[in-house]
Amino acid sequence: MGQTLQIGPLTLAWALIVLFIGWFASTHMAERLARKQGVKIEKHVWLIALLGLVAARLAFVAQYASAYSGSLWAIIDIRDGGWEPVVGLIAIGVYVLALWVWQSKAAKAVTTGAALFCAIWLGGTFGLSMLAPSNATLPQFTGVALDAQSVSLPALKGQPVVVNLWATWCPPCRREMPVLMAAEKAHPNVRFVYVNQGEKPEAVLRYVQQIGMSPGSVVLDGEESLSRMVQQRALPTTLFFDAEGKQVAVRSGELSAATLTQHLEQIVGSR
């Protein structure tokens, strides 16, 4: 099973689906219990959710502060998927504990909801990790780069490899491209391969020349065969492989400098 659920043109991350299931189930449970007790907990429901999300985001931003360069928009722009979920769960736990310390009438209902959310989130995350392929390696894909050279992904084994599936018509692909290109320059020991999905060579070449990409790094996949091989239809999607050719991480969606750094650490080592 891939990391995303494809429904027509809509692509949803399974982790996000688990998050929403946990939210709705825990909120329903907590409010049902609160009604029986004659207690209102709407304020706590929203505050606890906000606290968990903000804590998880700020913990990630603090860890990769240099990548955000003090940009408030970059910090707020959560499309990059940068979170520290454990910190968020800890923040939720602190809020629940505070309710008991303050002897709030809402403590029991909120605790029940928070416990259910944590159980669903942790259980769902564990389940997704168990269902994820543990033996994925560099795909048996060979394509022709814009410099007319053949590029075989399995032949790249022996060095860390980043494979980016993208298209020129895809706005998030275009937004993340400068980030990928900067990382490519900063990590000469990592091979970056940009596999264009389904476009004609002329369109790809125009864009590559426009932004100054290396033609040898851009591989054409007019039949979108690599997307089918790795079961990743969303664009952009970036796959990370270590020097042994083992797939270590997959990111479906736009990368920021911070989230790219996070994944590069997994295949390269410390920053």
Task: Note whether 20 and 122 are same-domain residues.
Answer: yes
**Residue 100: DSSP 8-state:** H
Task: Provide mean pLDDT across the span 175-198.
Answer: 96
pLDDT at residue 64 in the model? 93
Whether residue 207 sits in one domain with residue 123: no
Residue 263 tokens, joined? 């994944």
Domain range enclosing 99? 4-131
What pLDDT, on the 0 to 100 scale, is given for residue 271? 41
What pLDDT score was predicted for residue 32?
A: 95
**Average pLDDT of the segment spanning 23-50:** 94
- pLDDT tens digits for range 82-136: 999 999 999 999 999 999 999 999 999 999 999 999 999 999 988 877 776 667 8
Q: Residue 137 falls within a domain, yes or no?
A: no
Mean pLDDT of the chain: 91
pLDDT at residue number 270: 43
Are 52 and 25 members of one domain? yes
Q: Which of 24-38, 39-53, 76-90, 125-139 is predicted least confidently?
A: 125-139
| Same-domain pairing of 79 and 193 | no
The answer to whether position 14 is within a domain reads yes
Question: Looking at this protein, which amino acid is placed at residue 243?
Answer: A
Tokens of 232: 């990743």
The verdict on residue 171 lying in a domain is: yes
User: Helix H segments across the chain?
Assistant: 14-37, 42-63, 65-68, 72-76, 85-101, 107-131, 171-186, 201-211, 225-230, 257-268
Model confidence over 181-190: pLDDT tens digits? 999 999 999 9
Q: Which of 103, 131, 159 corresponds to the end of one domain?
A: 131
- 8 A C-beta contact, residue 65 and residue 262: no
The pTM score is 0.85
Are 34 and 59 in the same domain? yes
Two tokens, residue 75: 């910090």
pLDDT of residue 197: 96
| Domain boundary, last residue among 86, 103, 131 | 131
The answer to whether 183 and 265 are in contact (CB under 8 A) is no
CATH of the domain at 187: 3.40.30.10
Structure token digits, residue 4: 């995303």
d(Cα 255, Cα 238) in Å, to the nearest integer? 8
Distance CA 99, CA 77 (A): 31
Residues 126, 157 within the same domain: no
Query: Are the C-beta atoms of 205 and 211 separated by less than 8 Å?
Result: no
Q: Which of 131, 161, 177 is the last residue of a domain?
A: 131
**Are 163 and 238 spatial neighbours (Cβ–Cβ below 8 Å)?**
yes
Do 153 and 112 share a domain, yes or no?
no
Please indicate, yes or no, if residue 136 is contained in any of the structural domains: no
Number of domains in the chain: 2
Same domain flag for 70 and 183: no
Separation CA 141–CA 139 (nearest Å)? 5
Q: What residue type is assigned to position 164 of the chain? A: N
Average pLDDT rounded to a whole number, residues 46-53? 95
